[in-house]
Every structure is written in C-alpha cells, then in structure tokens.
Chains A and B, each alone.
Chain A
Amino acid sequence: MIQQQGNRFFFNVDWITVLIYIALCSIGFINIYASIYNPDKAAAGFDFGSSYGKQLIYVITGLILGLSILLFDGRLFNVFAPFIYGITLILLVIVLFVGRNVGGNQAWIPLGSFRLQPSEFAKFGTALLLARYVSTFNPKFRDIKSIFIAAIIVLAPLMLIMLQPDTGSALVFLAFMFPMYREGLSGYFLLIFLGMIVLFIADFLVPTYILILILVTVGGLFIYANKRKQKIIISTVLVTLVAVGYLFLVKIAYTKVLEPHQRTRIELMLGLKTDNKGAGYNVIQSQIAIGSGQATGRGFLQGTQTKYGYVPEQSTDFIFSTIGEEWGFAGCTVVIGLYIFLLLRLINLAERQRSTFSRVYGYSVACILFFHVFINIGMTIGIIPVIGIPLPLISYGGSSLWSFTILLFIFLKLDSNRMGFI
C-alpha cells in the first residue's frame, strides 16, 4: 500500500531536477577532494576522516534525506509551516547563547561531533511560512498591512542572524523579495532596492555633495517636466529628500555600524583600497587561482594555487576557485550553466503549480539558490565583497548541503503533488 503510494509519487517527481542536484553534489565532492588533495599522501587511499570523506557521507545521507522527504504527505509542510518556522527562530536565539564561535560569529550549535547551523535551516522555515501566509490570505501586497506582515516573517530570522553576526547569511533573506514580487508586490520595491544599492556604491565613489547636486538637478528637471501634475511633484520632492537622507545615513551607518573588517571588504571590492595583506588576500589569491585556469584549466588535481593553502577556506566558501583553476573557463561555464538551468527550471515548475503555497515556495527556493550562487561566485571573482556564504550543493559542509537538500526536495514533493490539493 505504502509502496504503491510511493511509486505513484515517485512517478510524478521531476527527475531532471534530481539529476542536476546529483550532478552538482558530485562536482562538489570532486572539487573538495581536489582542493584538499595532497600529492604527498596520494597513495593513502580513501579516507573517511578527511573532508572529502565526510562530504561523501553528507551527500549520501543528503540523498537519503531528500528521498525520504518525497515519502511525506505534502500537505504536512503547509500544516506545520508555523511550527517549523517557530523552531528555527528558537534555534536562532539559542545559537546566540550557546553558539560555538567560528570565524568571528556565533553560527554553530555544537551537537556532539556534529555542528548545527540554524541559519541554514531558517531559510526553508521562512519560505514555508511565507508560502503559507500568501496562500491563506492571498494578500497581493497592495496594502501596507500585508507587506508589513510578510516583512516581519522575513526580517525576524534576518535580524537574529545579523546578531550572530553573520551578514552573509542574513543578506540571503532579501531573496524573499522576489516571491513577493511575483505575488503582486509592486516592481517599484525592486527598483527602490536597486536604487539603494546604486546610491550606496556611488556614495563611496563620488563626493556626497556632488551626488546631492545630481539628485536635486534630476528631481528639479523631473518636476519641471511634470509641472502641471501636483501628485508627481509631491512624490518627486519626497523621493529626492529621502534619497539625500539615505546618502547621509549610509555614511553614518558605514562608520558606526559596520565592523572594520566589513568596511575593508567593501572598500576593496570598490577598488578604493589596495592593501591586500589581510582581507584582499583571499580575493587576490582566489582570482589568481581562477585566472590561471585559463580556457580549459590545469586539469583534475593539477591545480597549484589552490593547493598548499594559498586560497583560504578552500573547500568551503572558496571552492569555486578550485573549479576555476582545474577546469578553466569551460568548467566554470558548465557549473554556472547547471545552476542557471536549475533556477530557470525551478521557476517553470513553480509556475505550473495549481496551489499558491507551492508556487510561492518554489519561487523562494529558486531565489535563495540564486542569491547564494551569485554572491558566492561573485565574491571569488571579486565583483562582490567577501561575504562568507556557501556555494549551494558544492561547498563542503553538512549543514549547508542538507539544508539545500531539504529546501529543494520539499519543493519537488510539493510539485509531485501538484495535481492534488494542498
């Protein structure tokens, strides 16, 4: 009976996504093996105590975990969404107190030999609750109240993660803007967000008074062009004022709120600073490694830059530099191609859902993955400041791999149920 039911569900699973999942995990395993590969000890055989050995165990257990999620009743995720969300919030609070300090933030809860990273699990908790909220109330995000509620759902875990402080993982939660956008949130929010980023960067490259001058001029011209329409004039004045205020806020926040190492990373990324002993070192070394890969790479295990510890955090956050060095531009294209194919497919899958819950959840999964991929790869090639978040399914680490597995397979389960009611 159960077997039959299982078969029916498996039949509906999107196996293409599962194949891409397996491909990415394998790429991860191979490159973790390469990045800790020591030519001296090559003959030693397979070592389960090493990073690649552990990663293999994580991959296998991850796959088992994913497949067992497919056996669940999909409706449970909807029903238990608030509960799961609540647990992840509690874990995020606990980690602030009992967290083990790794690399300057309290991200890990030690559980015997295994360490749990609640910020990884908060992602699907939040995605589930957001999906539930949207599917229950169908808010369309036209009114302040629904935006406010959705913002609370997203910002609560975000703030707790900021307190660890783990800026990278917190930033990922901004990905939830996209599912909200898809469900009706005005496109202006995305534009404002984009504008904030542009102004933020501009604030460092151009003196503030020139920026203000430009803003006021543009605003003035705009008002002049629309001098008959009072509404537009008022909103333009408001926007200009807010933008100018924002510029000052950025300056203040920058000096008062950000930690010195975060400031350094931003300045390095913007090319304002060239001191590369400390923070710039990772990026420089990572880019040397990737750059030396050229078109087709040095070949498997032939990388020299990524051996001997030139690139720090080689198997975790900087795994992409191993891929770049040993597999070259071709390899990078394959990896990025796989990700993009996965992301586009997830969006397509999300759109074919009958239930709003599944669609919102699907969008959330795709956009979280997208943020991770963009930030991580962008960081290793120097177009984004160093923000330590893993490359999904490829970076070394159990917490990360399992949380992406859960994230993805819950969606696959929902998708396999798409014909039924959820």
Chain B
Amino acid sequence: MDQLFNRKYIVQGLFIVIAIILLAKLFYIQIISDKAFLSAESNVLKKKYKYPARGAILDRNGKVIVQNEPVYDLMVIPNEVKPFDTLSLATALDITTDDVRKNLRKARAKSNYQSTPFVKQISVQSYARLQEIMYRFPGFSTQDRTIRHYPDSVAGQLFGYVKEVSNDDIEKSEGYYKPGDYKGKSGLERSYEEVLRGERGVINTVYDAKNTPQGSYANGKYDINAVSGERLISGIDIRIQKLGEELMLNKVGAIVAIEPATGEILAMISSPGYDPNLLVGRDQGNNYMNLIGNPYRPSLVRPIQGSYPPGSSFKPIDALIGLQEGVIDPNTTFNCPGYYMAGNHKVKCEHVDGNISMRKGIARSCNTYFCHVFQNLITRNGMKNQRQTYQDWRDKVAKFGFGSKLDVDIPFERPGYFYNADHYDKVYGKRWGYTTVISQAIGQGEITATPLQIANAMAIIANRGYYLKPHLIKAIGDKNQVKKEYIKKNYVGIDAKHFEPVIDGMQDAVNSGWGTAVLSRIPNIIMCGKTGTVQNPHGKNHSVFIGFAPRDNPKIAIAVIVENAGYGSIYAAPIASYMVEKYITGQVTGSRAAGVEWMKKQNLLPAIIDKTKKVKLTKTDSLNIKKTDSIKRIKDSLILKPGITSKSVVLKPIQSKPALVNNKPETNQK
C-alpha cells in the first residue's frame, strides 16, 4: 500500500521484543535463580496466626471491668496426622477416646489440609501435660489466644459477648475476618468491635517436603506482629452497677443513671441480668440457649429496649412546657376535687387538695393539675386549632428525646413510640381534641419511653435545659479519644429560669412532708425527684422513680423502673436513693443500710403463666381513666405492636397469687 505499511514491522517487532523480555525474566526466576525467592524444591510456606488480645475496658475509676485470660486451643492438620496413641492423648486432655475420634472426624470434615481446632480452650493442666508429649502426635499443635473475663460478673447485657465468626461474618467482612477469628456479637463488644479487636499477626514458617519446619521464612521479614486492641474507658461506676444489680435481684425492670454534666452513663441495670462470664468459653452455646429460653428474658436489654409509659414522671415536662409557653406561671393554682373531668370522663387523683399550686402539684403528683396544664396548652390557640397545637406540643416534648433513639453506644436500641397528630387522625378521623388525648398529660397515653430516655429527660432537668448524648464509653485508646458527638450540648428549647420552680416541686416530692417519696430522703443530700406508678394493663402496676441529686451541681440523674411492683414510692424510689447515696458518698449509711439488705431480698418476679392463655385486662387502681371505646381500640392495637408491650404478655403475673411477695407499703421502711 503506502510506505506507512512498513510501520507494521516496527509494531510487530515491539511485540516480539517485549515477549522476549517477559520470557527472559521468567527464565531467570523459574530456571536460573533459586536463591532470590523461596527455593523451588518443594518448600512450602505456612502461616500461623497470632491472635491479638482484645482491648480491656475500665470503669470510670480506673478499675478493670473487662479483661483477657490466656487459653490454648489444640489444633490439628488432619492429613499430617500419623497413627497415634489415642488413649494417651485422651488422658492428657481429660476426654474419652471416643471424643478423640469424633473430633478428628469433625476436623477432617472441615479441612484436611488446614489447621483446625481439635479441642478448644484446653485447661492449663492439660496444656502442661501436652507440652511433654506433643512430639508423639505429629499434625497436632497448640494455638494460644485470649478469651474475655469479666471480673465483677455483672452487666452482661452491656458488655455483650464475643464469639467465633460465622461464615456469614466472614463473607460480609470482605476478607477481614478469617475462620478462627473472634468478633463482638452484642453490647459494647459489638459496637466497639473495630477498636477492641486489634490486628491479627502472622508468622511464616518454611516447611520442607517432609513437612518438618525449617525455621522462619526470610528471617521473619514478612511476619506481622499482632497488635492488641484499644483500651476503652467506660463511664460506668462498677460499684453502683453492682449495687443496682443486687437491689434488682429477683425483680424485673431497669435502672439507668447518668452524669448530667457529661452524658456519661454511670450505671445501666437490666434485670434480670446474667453473669457475662457465662457466655465465654466452652459452655457458651449451652448457656446462650438457656438465656434465650429463660421466660424472664434476661437477654432483653431493658434500659434501651423496654418500653414503658413514662407515667407521672412525665409531669415535670408538662410543667416546663406550660411555663415556657406562658399558659401557667409558677404561682398558677388549679382546684383539685380529687378528679379531673375530660369531657364526660373522669381522671382520678390520689387526693382531694382543693386549690393546689404547681410546686405542690408536682410534689403530690396531682393528676388534676397537669390535666389542666395540658388543657391550657392544647387549647391556647383556640378549640379549632387543637390538632396543630397538639403537634406543636408533641414536637416540643420530642426534643426531650422521646419518640426517637438516643443513639446510645450499644446496639439494638428502640425508639419507643409517641403519637403525633397524624396517628390520632388515623384513629379518630378529624374529630379529636385535648379531652380525647388527655392521658398524654400524665404520661399514660400513646407514649412509651425506654428507661434511658426517661433518665435522659431527668438529666435535662438537672442541667436546666440541655443534655449530652448518653454514652457508655467516654474515651478510646491510649490517647483517650472522645467522640465529638459526646461533647455537644443539645438544648431542648426551655429557658433556664423555668426549671427552678419545677425543681422546687421535685425537691419537695422527696424532702417535704407532703411529697410522694419522702421515705426515700437521703441524709445530707438534697435529691429532687418524682415518683410514678405506671399503669400496666397486664398486671400489677410498674413502680417508677426518676430524680437527680444533689439539687445544685447535680452529679447523678437516675430512672428506676420495677415492673409489677405497685407504687413508685415503695420500690423504685428507695432503690434510686440507695444508688444515689452510694454514688455520691461511697456508701449507704445508718438504718438505710438495712433497707438495702431488705430490698435485695424482695422477690417481685411475676409468676409465669402459659403463653397460650388469653390476656385478661385488669382494671388498675391508681389512675383510673375511663376509656372511650376508641381509646380501647388503640390500646388493644398497641398491645399487638412488637416490643415489650406484647412480649410482657408472656410474663403476665397471676393476680394476687402466693408466688408474689407481700407488697404492702408498711413493710417497706421504718
């Protein structure tokens, strides 16, 4: 064609030259050189993994609450096993010869060529015995690693547990996890997995054709040292965590204590709890199944998964929003004839106080007072605009953290529910107003909260208007890194000045003669609080107390919920007071110490009845709201919702049956 045709030869020549270069280099590395890389004979590199120790966790005072213990796994590479003395291996391991054969079969099924666990976590004695006779068992080797140990045996649900990765984990991790790795599956172990796990190390060893180790490869140049996981510092005070779990022994419920100034969680008790050490070691599987099968559901993390109506503990928030919106002032009084009439149904009160002030209304937990506040709030823009005003009120309450997750640093938190206007539209159409939803006024309506949310609301009052995201871990690693989101103040839109009058009422509740929790007064510490008795459609009411202390510069905000325990003042309030006293002073003193012991002995576990029986709604005593049919409809549909509401059907107590302890108030305090 043209002279450019000749360029074909240049291109083709280039192809050939490059091919020759590639072949020359291949010739060199495959045929000439045998020193630069592993000799081509039949040497093989084998990797042995070095497992890192997981990071330790300390409590707020520097005490180790999660640590590691060395254990040894006996590993086997089945195709390297020569006929051996089954009996002496079995003896060294304290297992039967049948077990030896069975385990070997299992290992074969897993992999013939790779190192697979033969017996996991052998005892120190077995390990010592084995070391002397290992040479007689080619194909077997020991692998050291560490497992978790929880010295205080508390807070199982918070710490969570660690387990060997599943195939699913391995696939999802896109190559990070390998069989034999461990991984946090719940609680802190799960949410901080990436900092706790550390980095796996590798030792490369050269083996010759006869499979005898020839020493480390390239003087360990390609070996990687295992790097331990990061240390975490928790906000938990293990002393009150422990006290709390003891106080809640044989009771169903939750305690959450928060340091208001920082949002650090001081204690988080989910009762019934379990010893986290049960989920470590060889019995993990069995113990786990037992926990799952336990009818009191210890695997439930009640502080973040339980959902309870906030009940009377909701009243301070009513007061705050009322003050902020100007529908009441601290001196506003309402007349309490012992009930409040919402349209033609009655909300009962525990007392007949006549004209009652806000301060006393809070201290005495007056339903009438707060129904009036709610009425004023919802109708302040006129009767016609109630729907919109309700929604506005709902959004203001939501700022306190209700109705959505607080995003605490352990997994599976639930948001609780909190009806907005749309929800009511669905139930009532357009025809609803403050009388229809009056039970919201006393925290008993279409609202549920987790104990964490309730404690957080208390921290907001203690801080006079803001909260920091509640969290269990305050610092990560040697540099004590703090997550940014944990130092941000979240304001709730209530001016600081409105808090004092409300706090006055809460102070009276615990410290004045007419309060609802005066029996839980702490010597020398002004605790402000509020009792609550939460209606439980399935049985005895839940006992609730929320509070904080001391009044000035509060150090602790707390919420206590004891299911099926009756009035808040009988169980929840004293439990809270013991926790607070122990946290602030280091001990519970005087006659109150005996109260602690008494409390620990109380058994309030509801009797377990057959799940197949129908739930019988029981009329409750303290707050008797006459429900319209439509309210009943919602309540029934709520019961069908997933979550504690439906689950607690299983735990339903038998009314007044002997399994329960005597709940009479007189027995409580001296």
Binding site for B on A (CB under 8 A): 38-40, 178, 181-184, 187, 276-277, 281, 284, 287-288, 290-295, 304-305, 308, 310, 324, 328-329, 332-333, 336-337, 339-340, 343-344, 347, 351, 363, 366-367, 370, 374, 377-378, 381-383
Contacts and interface: CB of A to CB of B under 8 A. Distances in A.
User: Which among B5, B30, B38 has the highest number of chain A CB atoms within 10 Å?
Assistant: B30
A363 B11 contact: yes
A394 B2 CA distance: 37
Given A308-B114, A324-B30, A291 B36 contact: yes
Given A332-B30, A378-B22, A381-B29, A340 B113 contact: no
A351 B8 contact: yes
Contact of A182 (B7, B26, B113): B7
Nearest to A281: B222
B113 A40 contact: yes
Given A39-B113, A184-B4, A383-B21, A287 B11 contact: no
Contact of A305 (B22, B27, B36, B45): B45
B126 to A, nearest CB: 28
Given A181-B11, A290-B30, A310 B222 contact: no
Given A181-B11, A277-B222, A291-B34, 20 more contacts: A276-B221, A288-B37, A291-B33, A292-B43, A295-B30, A304-B44, A305-B44, A305-B45, A329-B30, A333-B23, A333-B26, A336-B22, A337-B19, A343-B15, A347-B12, A347-B15, A351-B8, A367-B11, A374-B18, A374-B22
A277 B30 CA distance: 23
User: Which among B16, B22, B47 has the highest number of chain A CB atoms within 10 Å?
Assistant: B22
B122 to A, nearest CB: 25
A291 B29 contact: yes
Contact of A284 (B30, B34, B44, B222): B222
Interface residues on B, range: 35 or more
A293 B40 contact: yes
A181 B29 CA distance: 35
Nearest to B109: A40
A114 B222 CA distance: 36
A344 B47 CA distance: 44
Nearest to A274: B221
Interface in B84-141: 110-114
Nearest to B1: A351
Contacts of A310: 45, 47
A66 B129 CA distance: 66
Contacts of B608: none
A294 B31 contact: yes
A183 B26 contact: no
Contacts of B626: none
Contacts of B632: none
26 contacts: A38-B111, A178-B11, A182-B7, A276-B221, A276-B222, A290-B26, A290-B29, A292-B38, A292-B40, A293-B30, A294-B30, A294-B40, A305-B44, A308-B47, A324-B30, A336-B23, A340-B19, A343-B15, A344-B12, A344-B16, A347-B11, A351-B5, A363-B11, A374-B22, A378-B22, A381-B29
Contacts of A378: 22
Interface of B: 1, 4-5, 7-8, 10-12, 15-16, 18-19, 21-23, 25-27, 29-31, 33-34, 36-40, 43-45, 47, 110-114, 221-222, 224
A370 B112 contact: no
A344 B15 CA distance: 8
A287 B29 contact: yes
Contacts of A337: 19
| 6 nearest A-B pairs in the assembled complex, by CB-CB distance | A291-B29, A329-B30, A292-B40, A288-B37, A40-B111, A291-B37
Nearest to A296: B30
A118 B23 CA distance: 32
A181 B7 contact: yes
B205 to A, nearest CB: 13
A348 B19 CA distance: 18
B26 A381 contact: yes
Contacts of A178: 11
A92 to B, nearest CB: 25
A176 B362 CA distance: 83
Contact of A291 (B1, B7, B40): B40
Given A181-B11, A288-B37, A295 B31 contact: yes
A292 B222 CA distance: 18
Contacts of A344: 12, 15-16
A343 B110 CA distance: 46
Contact of A329 (B1, B27, B47): B27
Contacts of B27: 329
A293 B42 CA distance: 10
A41 to B, nearest CB: 9
B324 to A, nearest CB: 45
Contacts of B29: 287, 290-291, 381
Given A294-B30, A332-B23, A363-B11, A287 B16 contact: no
Contact of A347 (B4, B8, B30, B33): B8
Contacts of B1: 351
Nearest to B33: A291
Contact of B26 (A276, A292, A329, A347): A329
A20 to B, nearest CB: 14
B24 to A, nearest CB: 10
Given A291-B38, A291-B40, A183 B22 contact: no
User: Which among B1, B15, B39 has the highest number of chain A CB atoms within 10 Å?
Assistant: B15
A308 B5 CA distance: 50
Nearest to A302: B42
Given A40-B113, A332-B30, A381-B29, A288 B11 contact: no
Contacts of B33: 291
